[in-house]
Structures are given as C-alpha cells and as structure tokens.
Chain A
Amino acid sequence: MSALVAPNEVVTKALLRLVNVPGLDRPAALITLDNGFDHKKPNTFGPAGLSSLDSALTDAFAANPSFVAITGKPYVFCVGADLTAMPLITTRDQARELGRLGHRIFARLRDSAIPTFAFINGAAMGGGLELALHCHYRTLSAGASALALPEVSLGLVPGWGGTQLLPNLIGIAPAVQVIVQNPLMQNKMLKPRQAAEMGIADVLLEPADFLERSLEWAAGVVRGDITVTRPDVDRSMWDGVLAFARQALDQRLHGAAPAAYRALELLALAKDASFADGTAAEDEALADLLMSEELRSGVYAFDLVQRRAKRPVGAPAPELAREVTKVGIVGAGLMASQLALLFARRMPVPVVLTDVSQERLDKGLAAIHAEIDKAVDKGRMDAQTAARVRSQISGSVDKGAFADADFIVEAVFEDLALKKQVWAELEAIVSPEAVLATNTSSLSVTAMAADLAHPERVVGFHFFNPVAVLPLLEIVRGEKTDDATLATAFAVGKQLRKSCVLVKDAPAFVVNRLLTRFLSEIFAAVDAGTPLEVADRALDPLGLPMRPLALLHLVGAPVALHVNRTLHAAFPDRFPVSENLQRIAEAGTPVMVDDAINPEVVGLVRLDDSPQSAEEIRQRALDALAEEARLMLDEGVVAEPQDIDLCMILGAGWPFHLGGITPYLDRTGTAEKVTGRRFLPRGVASLPA
C-alpha cells in the first residue's frame, strides 16, 4: 500500500452527498467522481483517487442509505487508471498491489447489502467501467461518448474485475468483442445504445435529465416497483467462442502481444472460477503485464498518439499561418478526388480541381459525388454536410480557377519534371504567397521548388493511402520553405484532423523509407533463394498489421518500385532494386488474390540458390530498420526517435506493443548491436533499468 504513491497525481475525488429522493424514506448516498477539471481532463484513478473512493464508501455505508450510487462529473464518468503514474511502478509487487487495491475497493460495491448503482453519465473506460460493473445496477446516458475496456490495446487486461464480471453479465461472445477485439480495432468504442443492448447497462436514459431519471429509476428498484431482469448467460458456447477468438488472434498477432492472450485466459477462467479466484488471477496477470516491455511500449505509444501527435515538435508558431480561403487541387485522378473530398469535408472553403481534359475532370467529379452518396447511404455523412461538400467542390480545365486560391495541392504523376512544370504554370497565375503543397511520396521538395520565383512557399504534404483513414501527414520542409508556409501547412493539416509530423526533405521521408528498407530485405532474401511464402512470414512474430506482400498489394507494386528506385538513387548500397520486385511490378498482376499470394506472382519469381531461414531474414530486417532509423536521426530527417515511432504507428499502423519500432529495436538489443547505442533511454518506452 505504502509503495503506491503518485506524487503528481491529479486526484479524482469521490464526493459524497446524502440526497433525498422522492418516494424513499431514507436518503440515498450519491458519490460524484470529480477531479476538479473540465471534461478535457477526464477523471482517472491513481492511488489517492482510489483511497478517496474508499473513504467515501465507508462514509456512505455508515449513513445506512436507501442506496449507494456513483456518478461522474459532466460528460465523464471515469476513464480508468491514471497512466501517467505507470513509470513509477518499478517492481512486480507494486504492480500486483495496484491490482489488489482496486479489487478490494471496488468489491465493496459488489459485496454491499445495500443496493449499489452506477449512473454512467459520460465516458467510462477501463477501470471506470469496471467500477460500474461492480455495482448491482447500472443506468447509462445515451450521451455517453466513450465506453470501452481498452486495456488490451495498451498491453494490459481489464484487471480490476472486468474479465470476470463482464462475461458473466453479457455473455462470452460480446465480452470477447469488448475486451479483446475492439481494443485491437483502433480501440473501437461502444455506442451507448449498443452497450445497453449488450446488457452492460440495465437502462438507457436520455442525457437531458439523466441524473434525475437515474435517481428516480434507482428509487423504483429499491422500492420494488421496477424489477430488473437480465438474460441468462449461455455457458455452452464459452470454450468454442474463446477457441475461435484465439485462432483469430493468432492470425493477426502470431503470439506477438501477450495481453490479448492473457485476457482470453482470464475470460476462460471466468466460466467456472469463483470471483475470488478470478480476481486473484487478474492480480497476477496485471503484475506480469505491468512489468512487461510490451505494456511499457504500449503506454509510450499511447502517449505519442494522444499528446505528441497533437503538438507537433518543431512546427513554427501557429499564429504565423496564413488564412486559407480557397483550396486548389491539381489533378482529378483517384488521389486528387480523395484529397478534394477530405478538404471539402473538413474545411468550409471552396475546393477546385483542375485537369487537362474535361473528360478526366468530369470523371473525377463524378467519382467524388458517388463517394458522397455512398457516405450518405451508409449514414457516415448527414444530408446537410453532403449538400455543403457538394457545393464546395468544383472543377475547371482552366487553371485560372486557381487565381484566388491560397493553398494548392498537386497530386499528379510522380515525375519531377512534370511537377516542376505544374508549379511553374501555376506560379504565373496564383498570388506570390499562395502555398504550393506537393503530395509527393518520395521526390525532393527542394528540387521541385528550385526554379520558381518564390520557392519559399513550396512544402511537402504527404498523405497516406487511404487518405480518409490513415491519420498521418508528413509535412516536409524544403531547403527554402519559410515559416509562414510551414505554419500554414500545419494549420491546414490540423483542420483536416491529421496528425502532422515535421520531416526534413530527404528521400521518401520517414514511413516509405523505413517500409522500403524493410521490403528490400525481404526481397533480397527472395532474390537469394528464399521462397516467397517463407520470406513473407518471416516477420510474423512482430505482430505487424499486415505481411510484406499484403502491404505491397495495398500500395501497388509499381508505386513501391518507384519509391525503391528513388531511394536506390540516393542510397544505392542500402536500397538495392530487387529483380523479382521489378518482375512483379512489370507483370501488373495483383500480388494477392483472396488474401493469399497470387500463384501467378509465385510463378514470376526466380530464386537463386541461397535460401535464408525466417529467423535470419527477421534479424536482417530488424538490423536494417535499426540502421536506417539511426541514419535518419543522424541526418535530421526528424527530430527524435519519438517522431519515427509516431510516423510508423499512424502512417503504417505499426502496433503499440512495438512502441512503433524503436522501443522494440532497443529491447531486443538490435539497436545497440547495430548502431552501438539505444534509441531511447531505459524507462522511456521500456521497463526501468
């Protein structure tokens, strides 16, 4: 107990008030969780917060109330354990103590002879939702914004009773969805209606008078006017559901992240184990996982995504940004259409596309309108937004339509001469301050700007495909790019709700450079004689979101080859151009068919006679990544290893349990072996020394 102190804890206080509720003889004990800040700093539980809850419960029960209820501050119930205190846990005993502390206090609600209620008024995640699960009854606001048990995404399990209570409340299949599957799907949250239908809450109430109605409902339950019925939990499918879930996990993670597997084990235990045994197992799991490298990397990655992504390192002062009142997009192809839709959706300004032919333009606009219709049909866009977006997007074969645009993005073919020509033509039309942003994935922004009268307004603005989904935007500063241009690019990126990372103008920037380096190693192994399938599976133990050939399929072999050639030109030693990759790209056949390697592609590949083992390939690939990441930092492509990790998480979907990539390269010793030093000091994204 004494070991658990977090000196900088923002304490969520449990404020007890005895409340007279009409229709009851004795007052109810209403406990409000409130850390004293507004909803932007949600309630969390650290040691002092738990202790406050403990004493509020003591006082509440001592008052012999008609019932005990817990609710939150406006918009927030409680979002779980305080992650900022995680680095302070340095021993397994401390870790286990934290689990036990939560269990002991929460259990008071479950064991109470007085009826207990959770009034889930707002966001309830992790330990917050587990607290609610310990109560005898739950009301839920239809306005609650975030409901989830996201622990597995970080590398933990819902270890304050969640794995034992949830499946026994709502059944094993939905519990697996909430505890294991949703966290691994970009941390998908439950909508209140969905949570209520699952049975997580007993009643869903409208937000306008949520607390009043919750108190009234609770009084009805206590008086016996309202009977709460819950469906019986089906235990016959328990083992089958878990076996199926494990299979799905294996296909995805190949055993890479221990937390999801531990969660499945605990869910298996929940079928028959007593609550005491189940929670004791949770304590052990928490202790193991809190002291795991994967969790430490996960917390680090979470912090990158939550904080660093919102305050880009090295970005100029936001007030330098110029106002953008009209956006131009050069091109009307697939990429240009996607960009037009994104800009029009997120920014309330006209978006004009141009292309050389009316036919191509019409086709592009038609594609955009079809995309909007589809979004409306699927309920992803409301009718008013659709009408606005349609009204904002127009097309013109005359580049004169760009004359009053202040931000122009080009998405034409990846050819330096072509791009230079586009900018030169535009410079004659647009104002000298209009920002010219290139979506190039590998060409030099500096070279593209070289012959312009105003090269200082050219900036790289590199999206990732699919543009609407991947949150990363690499913003590239060319040699002459000025601060106002850069600030404008960051401001636009923020409006587009992208996470922006500042990168130097270096070949292929960050994500494509690392992915290409790693693909090169895979193809080098193939060229040497390793069968495609073996090479493709070599990195399975990392639990990456897709295997190399699936990635190649998604990007398109010709695009990958183009980036490869650019990098080869810059760094011929490290980026050889694989003959097999060239054959695949030139053949133009899809790399994958129905999620399997296309047999035609297998037939194209010619193997030399020195096959490598999966183990060898993996080590080479990791060594290559470590070398390349270190070189990028030395060259100043980005400021810090954190930026590399953020890019790989947001631009390539690399997993939290690797911390992006540098924490993994550190903890496996690869970084020290290859480069002589770690990327990050011990304790930053790893267990303390």
Chain B
Amino acid sequence: MPRDIRDVVFVDGVRTPFGKAGGYYAHTRADDLVVRCIRELLRRNPQLPPDRVDDVAIAATTQIGDQGLTLGRTAALLAGLPHTVPGYAIDRMCAGAMTAVTTLAGGIAMGACDVAIAGGVEHMGRHPMGEGVDPNPRFLAEKLVDPSALVMGATAENLHDRFPHITKERADAYALASQQKAAKAYADGKFQPDLVPVAIRDPEAGWGLATVDEAPRDTSMEQLAALKTPFRPHGRVTAGNAAGLNDGATVCLLAAEEVARELGLPVAMRLVSYAFAGVAPEVMGLGPIPATEKALRLANLTIDDIGLIEINEAFAVQVLAFLDHFGIADDDPRVNPWGGAIALGHPLASSGVRLMIQLARQFAEHPEVRYGLTTMCIGIGMGGTVIWENPTWEGSGK
C-alpha cells in the first residue's frame, strides 16, 4: 500500500512546576502530576474533541507504584479522556518524554494516528534513581560496562577526565549562567504561560499550590566553588553544576499538520528529524553528540543551520563537551537562552518535553530562526536529538 509520510507538528505543551525531591510534591502522586498536565493541555485546546486523541504515551524511568500500571492509559482515564483513547508507558530513562514524542511522531507520520499526547513524569522523591533495579551480574563480570556506568555523577566525572580543558571552574561558570538566565526568564514571564499550577497537600500544613519551580537558586561562583564533590574526592561534579533530584511532569500535543489545520489547532513547531545514538555507558554524557550528528545528517542540515538549541543540563560538563565538539561558545546566545535543568530541575523522564516547550516559545519570539534542536544525554550511554522547524520563520535566513 503506497502512502505519503505526513508532516508532524508540535501543537502545544505544558508542564508542572518542577519540585525538589522531598519538597512541595512530597505528598503528591506522580500520576496526578501527569493527569493535571493532560487536563490543562486539553483545556487550553478546546478545538480538539477529546475523542480525536488517538494515543497517549507517558514516560517514566521507574515504572513502579504511582509511576507504573501502564501510565499513559491510566493517566488518560484519570484525566477524563474517553475510554476509547488508548495509551501506554514508555521508558528511555532521561529521554522518556522525548522518546514518547518521537515514537508517536513516527506513528503520526505513517498515518497510524492523527493526534496524540506525549509526556513524561519522574517523581524522584517517591522513586529515587535506581529504585528496584537488578542489573545483570554479567555487566560487571564480563566487563561489559565500567562499574561507574550506572552512577550518573560518576559518568560526569569520567567526562571531566576525558576533557581536562573542561575544568570545574568552567562548569561552575556555566552553571551560574544557567541560574542567571533562568532567573531573568522568570522575571520576564517566559515560563509562566506553560506552567500548570498543582494543588499540593501536606498533612501537617494543609493544601497549597505549586506555581513556580522549586529548584532555582540565587548563587555565586564562590558559593559554587565551596560545594562538595560527592562522586569523587576532589572531583569536579557538584550539586551546583549538575541538575538536582526533582519531581515533575510534562505533556504535549502532537498532530499531523494537516489534521492540526483541519481542527484549527496551533502549530508551534514542525518536526524535521530525530535520532538516538549510543556511546560507552561510562561516558553517557557524550550521547548528544552522535545523536545530533545523525539527526542533522538525516535532515540534510549542518549545525550552522541551527538557530536555537535546547540542550538538557544533566551536568554542565556534558553540555560543555557538546558545545566544544560543535565549536560553539559556552555563552552562545542560541544555547539555552532561558537557562536549563541546572536551574530548573531535571525530573528524568519528563525533561524532553520541557526542552520542546521552551524551544516552541522561543521560535515564536524568533521568526528569523528556521531550525532549532532539542537534545539530551541518556543513562547507560545514549543521546537523543530532535530537530524542529519554526513555522513562523520568515524569509530566507537560517
């Protein structure tokens, strides 16, 4: 059966404010964070009849308890979508939500569905990294991976070893800039339109409302320099130049472009290409480099064609390795102009869609930019990259 590949668009996305593990979401369920996002997404797009949603994919790294039970399906039911709407759970660690987007986009492109909801959640307070894992003993016995491969902070130290020119000071400076850019973006009201307030219950304090991210902090090079290096004595990776442990959820609405136009849905970004790639697990932070190269190759573009980059900041060192590889300056205004995960937080499987939400907002502000990319490193040695086209692009620039 011959068929056309359809254009896939990112219609809209929302997220909860990101909390600190043990912070304001300590008594809030992970699935409730997802439900809250789905409902707000549908409410923001009343043109979309809920029964037109063809699938719901929700990612979580630790699919246990309130992050288990085929999250996409259960969250859809809890959100009040009709029972005719199916759903599933997805896992590619930190790139869970990104993989939910690319997987559903593939389905939309080939015509299996018209409209889909993709997202992710990680409640790292309720589900600490590594909860319930049982790595196969062969990994170590047969030296398939380095013992440090499963400790993300240790893989970041490994990157510093590999790239001695990426010093702790450089990483701290990058981290400070991320905090400062995020603070300015907050002051300018860049994030607020896509944040979904979440009612938070505390048995001792009563109900409250989470409206802003909990993680951003006012810091300085001096304060950053004084932080401990928990992964290695006299190491370089600190809580200050890495993303923290966070709770949060994201969802977005994807559609075939023709269906979005038919339903009158906004088109915020058009998917150009995507790619995932593997690297040695003990230097998982390198993942975005081969993933980006592959995505560029598939799109027949070069890095010079990319006007905006949203890269996840799991660790400053991993971002700097990426920038060095592509010859981009640490303070290049195209890169994370509103700061990144070091300031805002990184609830693992949810972060991919946060990058897309921010890129979509920036596209709207930058009609001179045609292409942007979202990229992130992924545990056990992977990277993922999605290249997007700006539908508001005007003219002939890049």
B206 at the interface (CB under 8 A from A): yes
B205 at the interface (CB under 8 A from A): yes
Q: Mark A202-223, 1 if CB is under 8 A from B, else 0.
A: 0000101101100110000000
Q: Mark B199-223, 1 if CB is under 8 A from A, else 0.
A: 1010111111101100000000000
Partner of A19, one of B40, B192, B204, B208: B208
B contact patch SS: mixed
Q: Is A215 in contact with B35, judged by CB distance below 8 angstroms?
A: no
A31 at the interface (CB under 8 A from B): yes
Q: Is A211 in contact with B199, judged by CB distance below 8 angstroms?
A: yes
Residues of the A chain whose Cβ atoms lie less than 8 Å from the Cβ of B40: 209
Residues of the B chain whose Cβ atoms lie less than 8 Å from the Cβ of A673: none
Q: Is A215 in contact with B197, judged by CB distance below 8 angstroms?
A: yes
Known: A22-B192, A74-B201, A206-B80. A211 touches B211 (CB 8 A): no
Q: Is A212 in contact with B208, judged by CB distance below 8 angstroms?
A: no
Known: A208-B78, A211-B199. A21 touches B206 (CB 8 A): no
A window 494-538: CB within 8 A of B: none
Highest count of chain B CB atoms <10 Å: which of A17, A74, A209, A212 = A209
Q: Is A22 in contact with B205, judged by CB distance below 8 angstroms?
A: no
Q: Is B36 in contact with A212, judged by CB distance below 8 angstroms?
A: yes
Q: Is B206 in contact with A22, judged by CB distance below 8 angstroms?
A: no
Residues of the B chain whose Cβ atoms lie less than 8 Å from the Cβ of A32: 201, 206-207
Partner of A34, one of B78, B196, B203: B203
Residues of the B chain whose Cβ atoms lie less than 8 Å from the Cβ of A71: 207
Closest Cβ–Cβ distance, residue A215 to chain B (whole Å): 6
A30 at the interface (CB under 8 A from B): yes
Q: Is A15 in contact with B206, judged by CB distance below 8 angstroms?
A: yes
Known: A208-B78, A209-B36. A215 touches B209 (CB 8 A): yes
Residues of the B chain whose Cβ atoms lie less than 8 Å from the Cβ of A216: 197
Closest Cβ–Cβ distance, residue B66 to chain A (whole Å): 15
Q: Is A30 in contact with B207, judged by CB distance below 8 angstroms?
A: yes
B window 162-217: CB within 8 A of A: 192, 196-199, 201, 203-209, 211-212
Residues of the A chain whose Cβ atoms lie less than 8 Å from the Cβ of B192: 22
Q: Is A212 in contact with B79, judged by CB distance below 8 angstroms?
A: no
B39 at the interface (CB under 8 A from A): yes
Q: Mark A19-49, 1 if CB is under 8 A from B, else 0.
A: 1111000000011101010000000000000
Highest count of chain B CB atoms <10 Å: which of A19, A30, A206 = A19
* Residue of A with least CB distance to B192: A22
Closest Cβ–Cβ distance, residue A37 to chain B (whole Å): 10
Known: A20-B211, A21-B209. A212 touches B197 (CB 8 A): yes
* Residue of B with least CB distance to A214: B199
A449 at the interface (CB under 8 A from B): no
Highest count of chain A CB atoms <10 Å: which of B196, B203, B208, B211 = B208
A16 at the interface (CB under 8 A from B): yes
Residues of the A chain whose Cβ atoms lie less than 8 Å from the Cβ of B196: 212
B window 59-102: CB within 8 A of A: 78-80
In angstroms, Cα B35 to Cα A164, docked, is 40
Partner of B205, one of A15, A20, A208, A215: A15
A contact patch SS: mixed
B window 31-51: CB within 8 A of A: 35-36, 39-40
Q: Mark B355-393, 1 if CB is under 8 A from A, else 0.
A: 000000000000000000000000000000000000000
In angstroms, Cα B208 to Cα A16, docked, is 9
* Residue of B with least CB distance to A207: B80
A window 210-249: CB within 8 A of B: 211-212, 215-216
Partner of B207, one of A21, A36, A209, A211: A211
Q: Is A208 in contact with B208, judged by CB distance below 8 angstroms?
A: no
Residues of the B chain whose Cβ atoms lie less than 8 Å from the Cβ of A208: 35-36, 39, 78-80
Chain B interface residue count, Cβ-Cβ cutoff 8 angstroms: 22
Q: Is A17 in contact with B205, judged by CB distance below 8 angstroms?
A: yes
Closest Cβ–Cβ distance, residue A67 to chain B (whole Å): 13
* Residue of A with least CB distance to B39: A209
Q: Is B203 in contact with A36, judged by CB distance below 8 angstroms?
A: yes
Q: Is B209 in contact with A20, judged by CB distance below 8 angstroms?
A: yes
Residues of the A chain whose Cβ atoms lie less than 8 Å from the Cβ of B207: 17, 19, 30, 32, 71, 211
Closest Cβ–Cβ distance, residue A353 to chain B (whole Å): 35
Closest Cβ–Cβ distance, residue A108 to chain B (whole Å): 18
Residues of the A chain whose Cβ atoms lie less than 8 Å from the Cβ of B201: 32, 73-74
Highest count of chain A CB atoms <10 Å: which of B198, B199, B204, B205 = B199
Residues of the A chain whose Cβ atoms lie less than 8 Å from the Cβ of B211: 20-22
Highest count of chain A CB atoms <10 Å: which of B201, B205, B209 = B209
* Residue of A with least CB distance to B209: A19
Residues of the B chain whose Cβ atoms lie less than 8 Å from the Cβ of A31: 206
In angstroms, Cα B205 to Cα A31, docked, is 9
Closest Cβ–Cβ distance, residue A631 to chain B (whole Å): 53
Residues of the A chain whose Cβ atoms lie less than 8 Å from the Cβ of B212: 20
Q: Is B206 in contact with A212, judged by CB distance below 8 angstroms?
A: no
Known: A22-B192, A208-B79, A211-B199. A34 touches B39 (CB 8 A): no
Residues of the A chain whose Cβ atoms lie less than 8 Å from the Cβ of B36: 208-209, 212
Residues of the A chain whose Cβ atoms lie less than 8 Å from the Cβ of B203: 34, 36
Residues of the B chain whose Cβ atoms lie less than 8 Å from the Cβ of A19: 207-209
* Residue of B with least CB distance to A72: B207
Q: Mark B318-330, 1 if CB is under 8 A from A, else 0.
A: 0000000000000
Closest Cβ–Cβ distance, residue B318 to chain A (whole Å): 34
Q: Is A17 in contact with B206, judged by CB distance below 8 angstroms?
A: yes
Residues of the A chain whose Cβ atoms lie less than 8 Å from the Cβ of B197: 21-22, 212, 215-216
In angstroms, Cα B365 to Cα A256, docked, is 76
Q: Is A34 in contact with B206, judged by CB distance below 8 angstroms?
A: yes
* Residue of B with least CB distance to A34: B206
* Residue of B with least CB distance to A33: B206
In angstroms, Cα B207 to Cα A21, docked, is 13
* Residue of B with least CB distance to A36: B203
Closest Cβ–Cβ distance, residue B15 to chain A (whole Å): 14
* Residue of A with least CB distance to B32: A208
Closest Cβ–Cβ distance, residue B81 to chain A (whole Å): 11
Residues of the A chain whose Cβ atoms lie less than 8 Å from the Cβ of B198: 212
* Residue of B with least CB distance to A30: B207
Closest Cβ–Cβ distance, residue A357 to chain B (whole Å): 45
In angstroms, Cα B205 to Cα A22, docked, is 21
In angstroms, Cα B40 to Cα A41, docked, is 32
Contacts A19-B209, A22-B211 given; 4 further ones with Cβ under 8 A? Answer: A21-B211, A30-B208, A31-B206, A211-B199
Can you give 30 A-B contacts (C-beta < 8 A)? A15-B205, A15-B206, A17-B205, A17-B207, A17-B208, A19-B207, A20-B209, A20-B212, A21-B197, A22-B211, A30-B207, A30-B208, A30-B209, A31-B206, A34-B203, A71-B207, A73-B201, A74-B201, A206-B80, A208-B78, A208-B79, A209-B35, A209-B36, A209-B40, A209-B199, A211-B209, A212-B36, A212-B196, A212-B209, A215-B197
CB-CB nearest 6 A-B residue pairs: A32-B206, A15-B206, A211-B199, A19-B209, A32-B207, A17-B208
